[in-house]
Amino acid sequence: MALSRALFLFALIATIFSTVVVAKDFVVGDEKGWRVGVDYQSWAADKVFHVGDTITFKYVADNDNVVRVNGSDFKSCSAVPFGFPVLSSGDDTIEFTTTGRRWYISGVADHCQLGQKLFLTVQEPSSQLALSPVPSVSPSPTPSSPIPAPEVVASDAPWSPVPSPSASLSPSPSPTPAPEAAASNAPWSAPRRSLLPKQLFKMIHRNLIRV
């Protein structure tokens, strides 16, 4: 969505920029301006005027003016305004909004008779100037399912089990039992007590009976 919006804005800006760049402003007479003694038909001969272009009349205000007239008044230098007011600011800019012929003369004294007049033809907008509709940019389709992660390619080598850490370790020796005392084969006998007191007692007892 963001990409399509960016492309649309780029196309719109490019169209506006091309319009600004291609449209031209012509200063009538160039550095000489609008005055007596200039051949304005020669000036306009090598120029092409399109809809959207402008022309600017530069002169000393209060000493001259610009009058748009029709074809017949142009020939006769009759300063009768043709649908437009007389311009007298000294820096008058006119934008061409339609195609067709244009006639301009000076309405001061005999300036028109002295050659201060201009005829030109306005043509259709140039191909670059014409505003063509901006092509719509369709948004890129959103994937319905997430893109799977790339799979790991299996190796062609035969598979062999990886020994577990316990298998690689040698068995630890079992602790050696402590040596036990060897059992004696002789029969057990309790410690012998002295028989002298008992024998002596018996002898005394026998002697007493005899008496």
pLDDT in tens, 16-29: 555 454 789 999 99
1 SS3 class: coil
* Domains of the chain from N-terminus onward: 25-123 (2.60.40.420)
Residues contacting residue 21 through CB under 8 Å, at least 6 positions apart = none
Distance between CA atoms of residues 72 and 80, nearest Å: 10
Mean per-residue pLDDT, 113-118:
98
Given this model, what pLDDT does residue 45 score?
A: 97
Distance between CA atoms of residues 77 and 74, nearest Å: 5
Amino acid at 151: E
Distance between CA atoms of residues 192 and 198, nearest Å: 13
91 vs 59, 129, 152, 182, 209, CA distance in Å? 7, 25, 77, 137, 180
Residue with the bigger pLDDT between 163 and 72: it is 72
pTM above 0.75, yes or no: no
Q: Residue 168: which region, alpha, beta or left (left: phi > 0; alpha: psi -120 to 50)?
A: alpha
186 backbone dihedrals φ, ψ, rounded to 5° = -75, 145
Distance between CA atoms of residues 78 and 95, nearest Å: 23
